[in-house]
Amino acid sequence: MAAAFCLFLSLIFLFSPFPAQGEIIAEIKQKQGEDEPYIGVNIGTDASNFLSPSDLVSFLQVQKINHVRLYDADPDLLKALAKTKIRVIIGVPNNQLIAIGSSNATAATWVGRNVVAYYPETTIIAIAVGDEVLTTMPSTAPLLLPAIESLYSALVASNLHSQIKVSTPHSASLILDPFPPSQAFFNTSMTQYLLPIVKFLSRTQSPLMMNLYPYYVFMENKGVVPLDNALFKPLTPSKEMVDPNTLLHYTNVYDAMVDSAYFSMKNLNVTDVVVLVSETGWPSKADSKEPYATMDNADTYNSNLIKHVFDKTGSPFHPETTSSVYLYELFNEDLRSPPISEANWGLFYGNTTPVYLLHVSGSGTFLANDTTNQTYCIAMEGVDTKTLQTALDWACGPGRANCSKIQPGESCYSPNNVQNHASYAFDSYYQMEGKSPGSCDFKGVATITTSDPSHGSCIFPGSKKEGNNTREVVNSTQVTSGSFLSYGSNRKSLMDSFLTSLCTIMFLLSNSYF
């Protein structure tokens, strides 16, 4: 019945008057201007075997990532970014604030060494002065504005102040009573520092940088904030958050956080500063204390956020203005201190394989080579044989992966070891599940790779070399007379797979536009 209903819906979809292909392409092209909202990435470097600057830049170009935020001004990386047109926010580390805020000469030297030396070959667009200084280093607060103004004066002296903005990223915790957004206000104990900073941003037409994490809002308000609100999932009207003062409807936590920043500035009588989201994201892994830090949720949040930005719907309070966003972060930083979630915010592992599969095809130019393309699931190196064997047995048994080619005498039997056989079985299951988030895990012994693991005559299920060969389903690592499904059962399975695929295509087509 479900399959028949799905087919019925598919036919409706196919013959419904959806927008013409030309209209869809035209809309995507409209998203490519530099004045349009964009998605960038934060690049933290606390990762083992971190890419060389040249390799990192090549990776950014392959992924079509055109905006990055650095937490410092690494000279080798700034050199590597030259002539790439990748737009860069460089950072003043917190430990340099005191020196820069205390001396105009030090600020001028910093700009000469880290900006003038590379601009315009390296497209530096902003300086982020410190990071969450007012909440993490309150004793340094009096020096924050002097540091900002000294750096700005140095840019003026070099005639770069109109091309390069100066701002400072704030923590969302600086905003008190954030919901409803119309009641939000900046922590009054920091007003003496914030008011002149916001006025500076207004005077220089610079953005208010905010680090906004719906993940933490959800974790701190479980039972009050539904998970769907935090993940941008569609809501029924009854579940939408309504601001009783403005009657504005909020379908997601992110928009409410953006508007809380706007209302907080409004309470300081500043209404002409745009919010730039300098950090946001969702962790993909954590310990038992953070059960919602999963690959599925991380994929859902970041994929939906990207679509939300490129839809250019703004926020309920400012529908005419869509904030640009920097995702936290590009790579997992495995050298970060506990908790485990701290090391697992990345879109990619340090070796550039995706942590999970963002679904962003058609969403502007960011990651236009959707990370669902040509990925494979293989066994991780260094896992003990017993653990791998257990995962292999599950994949070929309850998982119903096609394990026929790793049987004796078949093309993928050699080399005859658990590592090789597990990799083939894992990839078979992963491809069978449509590369869905979480389907390449096997209790932590599998990993995603973009390198085709096929070798010799052994062609892996996800390889383009495989073609459209018919795949049989094996439910055991040992082939016996009872291993294969009966013909009638297999035919039904194939029909179900066809209908499921048709529904999936229907879903993807609809989401690629809307």
- For β-strands 275-280 and 208-211, DSSP reports them as parallel
Cβ partners under 8 Å of residue 13, min gap 6:
506, 509, 510
User: ∠ CA 49-53-57 to the nearest 5 degrees?
Assistant: 115
Q: Are 506 and 9 in contact (CB under 8 A)?
A: yes
pLDDT of residue 354: 84
Topology of 35-348 in CATH? TIM Barrel (3.20.20)
pLDDT of residue 235: 80
User: ∠ CA 148-151-156 to the nearest 5 degrees?
Assistant: 120
pLDDT of residue 466: 53
Residue numbers annotated as active site: 132, 279
pLDDT of residue 465: 59
- Tell me the domain boundaries of the chain: 35-348, 376-463
Of 430, 421, 422, 428, nearest to 401 by C-alpha is: 428
Distance (Å, whole) CA 354 – CA 373: 11
Distance (Å, whole) CA 121 – CA 357: 33
Distance of CA 50 to the CA centre of its chain: 19
DSSP structure class, residue 484: B
Distance (Å, whole) CA 135 – CA 172: 9
Distance (Å, whole) CA 409 – CA 394: 22
φ/ψ (deg, to 5) at 38? -135, 165
pLDDT digit of tens for each residue in the chain (514 aa)?
A: 444 444 443 333 333 443 333 332 233 233 333 478 999 999 999 998 899 999 999 999 988 899 999 999 999 999 999 999 999 999 999 999 999 999 999 999 999 999 999 999 999 999 999 999 999 999 999 999 999 999 999 999 999 999 999 999 999 999 999 999 999 999 999 999 999 999 999 999 999 999 999 999 999 988 789 899 999 988 878 778 899 999 999 999 999 999 999 999 999 999 999 999 999 999 999 999 999 999 889 999 999 999 999 889 999 999 999 999 999 999 999 999 999 999 999 999 888 888 887 777 555 556 644 555 567 889 987 788 899 999 999 999 999 999 999 999 999 999 999 999 999 999 999 999 888 767 888 888 888 776 778 888 999 988 865 543 433 333 333 322 222 222 233 333 334 444 444 444 444 444 433 3
Containing H/E element for 501? helix 487-513
pLDDT of residue 207: 97
- For β-strands 170-171 and 208-211, DSSP reports them as parallel
Cα 108 to Cα 100, 113, 114, 143, 150, distances in angstroms: 9, 9, 10, 16, 7
Q: What is the DSSP string of 303-348?
A: HHHHHHHHTT---SS-TT----EEES-SB--TTSPSSGGGG---SB
DSSP structure class, residue 269: T
pLDDT of residue 450: 66
